[in-house]
Structure 1
Amino acid sequence: MTIIISLLLLASLLPHLTFTAHVNVGIVNGREAKPHSRPYMVSLQKDGRHACGGSLISDQFVLTAAHCQKKNETLTAVFGAHNLKNKHDSVSISVKSYHKHPDFDTDTLLNDIMLLELEKKVQQNHNVKMISIPTQEEDIKPDSVCSVAGWGRLSFKGRKSNRLMETDVKIMNNTECKNKWNNHYSAPKMICVYGHGGSCSGDSGGPLVCGDTAVGVTSFGDPIVCNSRDRPEIYARISAYLPWICCIISNVK
């Protein structure tokens, strides 16, 4: 009975919280990634401090979450990093333009996806490489093992990690996720995951990777605790936005 009351209380608070706890979603119960084993990972920084994650999907575009940039904020994309304190290991490039999805909803976080056009093309090397995205709309089988990574908090109110952390997650059945999130979950446009480890404050915008393909963009989760099974992590489903992504990238002069 106590659990049911707690969940009902949480549900009543959700419209007012609007997922603010995960404005930047880190890795809990994870492990340190092998340095430069995820060369597509991008640290998006505000005033020299890590704010969000992202993934390099072309030589001039980073894919991230729309909520990672508030009005008039300026982001810098940092490539090739593992330990963010080691500035000499990375390359910083300014963002030229911000392409938020035109139907992004700041209240529900539906269509929480954004493309960042860089001031100049990224030079790829051993530490900096693009990651592939789906070529067509597709669904991922429940319980498929995928992974997430980021420089976010190691616990809900814990410290952020200077080193890139990672963990494995599993894809949750759409029906089960819908039952947990109700109208906040849109199966055609979102992916739901669960696992021993998961995202926390500091990793929004980072990729959900299945195999060697980025299939999701870290969007939101439980507003009061990280990696909750009752309110599992939600990712924007990249395959649902392929026409929009291709349109933005192809229009670059």
Structure 2
Amino acid sequence: MQTRLAWIAFVFWFLSDVAASIFLEPRCGNHIALKISGGYNAAFHHSAWMAAVNNKTHFICGGTLIHKRFVLTAAHCIHGQDVLSVGLGAYHKSHPEVRRDVIEKLMFGGRSSFENDIGLLKLSSNVIFNAHIRPICIVLNQSLANQMRNVSTFKAFGWGFLRGRKETDILQTITLKNFDRKECEVDLSVYLSEKQLCAGAPLGDTCEGDSGGPLTNNVNIREVGDREVQFGIISAGKSTCDGLGVYVDVMSYADWIKTTIERHYTEDEPQSSPVPKIKPQQQDVFLYNDCGGANIAANLKADIYGLNFRAQGIFITHQFVLTNAERLPRNPSNLRVFVKGRTHFYEVYSVLSVLPNDQNDVALLKLNRPVATRGSPAGMKPICMLANVVDQQRAASTPPFTMFFDAPTHRRIYDVSVALGNPHQCSERIQRRIEWNKLCVEPPNRMSRIGSGSYILGKKVTNSGKIMLVLFGIVSDSSNGVYVFTNVMKLSEWIANAIRIN
């Protein structure tokens, strides 16, 4: 997307009360994060409803999450494609929050055409909405839609080529002017129907790779508040990416979108609980079955020593310790691991191999032998990690999370319920960017006066009626009252494979 970013707030005020039922998905278009201005990259919160559509080998188009089971995109993007998947919550298109396979393609009229370039993708399972994944608003109320049609500008989003046909992994945005359709007919020598829009910018344009992405604007509706509404779908334009473009008028297809979703939607099994319940499945619930404990005091911890080096770790099996990769010596013969209890150390182990994942600042240490029952505190076990994506997503979407504060003077460990922080606000506090694979937490101020924060971020779930603590993150940084954790839950597949082959 060739861009010159300009943030222009466009606000509608309506005198009459309008209920949330005017939207396809009532929980749509909420701005969870702060706005930022300047530059070429889109604001992080706009990635909440963005979808990166991929075929078997590569990224092909953009799209938008409009419903917990459906993604909206351009029909020409999905026509003739056999195997598709989407990445959701994708600020970086190569690192989405979650991925879903596509199990059905639905194009208007059953085919792709220039005039009706609109399609829906049915996902393999429902998406659980959270701070990073939310649907954009599709207006169903035609009276309200008609009041919105004459907007002067749109915001377009996508991962298309930049100037010089450079590829980008970061979501881009551009502000486009809403032109009369006749302008596009003259400039592009095509006829536009009433279900198409014409838009462009003097010093930028959408480009190859942006197709399927949205035209949006912020709407303020009385008694509903600010919502991000989708007006169009990026459809066609000049191959030189330097002029007016043609866009699908989404509001003209609101009835088709609604009826198509109603006809093809199938509900997942209900899933809700303050403490998420994990159902027994054929697939293992945990990465390592002999794990346990409802509190960090019940889990095996590690102190790692080397030449001028000391770090913490957590046992995730009786023979593997998870720790940070940064500054970790790579020669295993230089490392020793002490099994740590509540008040003192137990047996010491040497390290057989170091398995780093530097991109995500984590590493596994394989010990020379499993921790023996006699060599560890009675009843202590490795911490549990959820094994499958469904359970992980279910747990991640139901706050709170848990931090632990060790207070030696009180002779106890405090469980503290915490919520995940806003990445932009955390970045401002610590004066460093919070990367896509990190989680930030700002615990209550009083806890820092009581004791030191724990090495892990956990989550309490119930399995077969028993409360279990599962691992979500390990500390990578802390500053100015903010703790930054590496999201190890997202790395469960890498962890499982590393353990299996080693």
Where on the TM-score scale, by shorter chain, does this alignment land: which range?
Answer: 0.7 to 0.9
Residues 204-238 of structure 1 show CA distances to partners (whole Å, capped at 9, x for unaligned) of 00010022210101100013x1031xxx1111111
Cα distance change of structure 1 residues 95 and 57 upon mapping to structure 2, 3 Å threshold: same
Determine if the alignment matches structure 1 residue 239 to structure 2 residue 248.
no
Rg larger in structure: 2
| Amino acid paired to 1:121 | N
- Aligned match of 1:61: 70
Give the whole-Å Cα distance in 2 for the aligned partners of 1:243 and 1:84: 30
1:174 CA displacement:
2.6
Determine if the alignment matches structure 1 residue 163 to structure 2 residue 170.
yes
Determine if the alignment matches structure 1 residue 117 to structure 2 residue 126.
no
- Aligned match of 1:74: 83
| Amino acid paired to 1:191 | L
| Amino acid paired to 1:192 | C
Is the contact between residue 160 and residue 202 of structure 1 (CA under 8 Å) also seen in structure 2? no
Cα distance change of structure 1 residues 50 and 28 upon mapping to structure 2, 3 Å threshold: farther
Is the contact between residue 216 and residue 238 of structure 1 (CA under 8 Å) also seen in structure 2? yes
Give the whole-Å Cα distance in 2 for the aligned partners of 1:122 and 1:75: 16
Residues 121-161 of structure 1 show CA distances to partners (whole Å, capped at 9, x for unaligned) of 1111111100101222536226x121011111103x61210
Give the whole-Å Cα distance in 2 for the aligned partners of 1:121 and 1:103: 24
Match of 2:262 among 240, 244, 250: 250
Match of 2:138 among 122, 133, 158: 133
Residues 189-215 of structure 1 show CA distances to partners (whole Å, capped at 9, x for unaligned) of 101111132200101000100222101
Match of 2:160 among 129, 152, 155: 152
Please, what is the CA RMSD of the aligned residues? 1.9
Give the whole-Å Cα distance in 1 for the aligned partners of 2:46 and 2:246: 24
- Aligned match of 2:195: 189
Determine if the alignment matches structure 1 residue 44 to structure 2 residue 44.
no
Match of 1:93 among 100, 112, 136: 100
1:105 CA displacement:
4.9
- With normalisation by structure 1, the TM-score equals 0.79
1:181 CA displacement:
3.6
Give the whole-Å Cα distance in 1 for the aligned partners of 2:103 and 2:129: 19
Give the whole-Å Cα distance in 2 for the aligned partners of 1:250 and 1:74: 23
Give the whole-Å Cα distance in 2 for the aligned partners of 1:43 and 1:133: 19
* 3-state SS of paired residue (1:242): helix
- Aligned match of 1:219: 235
Is the contact between residue 27 and residue 149 of structure 1 (CA under 8 Å) also seen in structure 2? no
Give the whole-Å Cα distance in 2 for the aligned partners of 1:220 and 1:134: 23
- The structure, 1 or 2, with the larger RCO (C-alpha pairs under 8 Å, 6+ apart) is 1
Unaligned runs of 5+ in 2: 6-39, 219-227, 267-502
1:48 CA displacement:
5.0
Residues 65-98 of structure 1 show CA distances to partners (whole Å, capped at 9, x for unaligned) of 000013242211100121234x3x5210000100
Is the contact between residue 183 and residue 198 of structure 2 (CA under 8 Å) also seen in structure 1? no
Give the whole-Å Cα distance in 2 for the aligned partners of 1:76 and 1:101: 20
Cα distance change of structure 1 residues 185 and 40 upon mapping to structure 2, 3 Å threshold: same
- With normalisation by structure 2, the TM-score equals 0.41
Give the whole-Å Cα distance in 2 for the aligned partners of 1:173 and 1:103: 29
Give the whole-Å Cα distance in 1 for the aligned partners of 2:257 and 2:46: 26
Is the contact between residue 75 and residue 112 of structure 2 (CA under 8 Å) also seen in structure 1? no
1:62 CA displacement:
0.4
Give the whole-Å Cα distance in 1 for the aligned partners of 2:173 and 2:88: 17
Is the contact between residue 66 and residue 112 of structure 1 (CA under 8 Å) also seen in structure 2? yes
Give the whole-Å Cα distance in 2 for the aligned partners of 1:65 and 1:105: 9
Among the aligned pairs, what percent are the same residue?
Answer: 29
Cα distance change of structure 1 residues 249 and 149 upon mapping to structure 2, 3 Å threshold: same
Cα distance change of structure 1 residues 240 and 54 upon mapping to structure 2, 3 Å threshold: same
State which drifts further: 195-204 or 59-68.
195-204
1:241 CA displacement:
1.0
Cα distance change of structure 1 residues 105 and 56 upon mapping to structure 2, 3 Å threshold: closer
Aligned residue-pair number = 217
Give the whole-Å Cα distance in 2 for the aligned partners of 1:115 and 1:146: 22
* 3-state SS of paired residue (2:48): coil
Unaligned runs of 5+ in 1: 1-25
Is the contact between residue 2 and residue 162 of structure 2 (CA under 8 Å) also seen in structure 1? yes
Is the contact between residue 75 and residue 118 of structure 2 (CA under 8 Å) also seen in structure 1? yes
Is the contact between residue 196 and residue 249 of structure 2 (CA under 8 Å) also seen in structure 1? yes
Give the whole-Å Cα distance in 2 for the aligned partners of 1:95 and 1:27: 29
Match of 1:203 among 185, 205, 210: 210
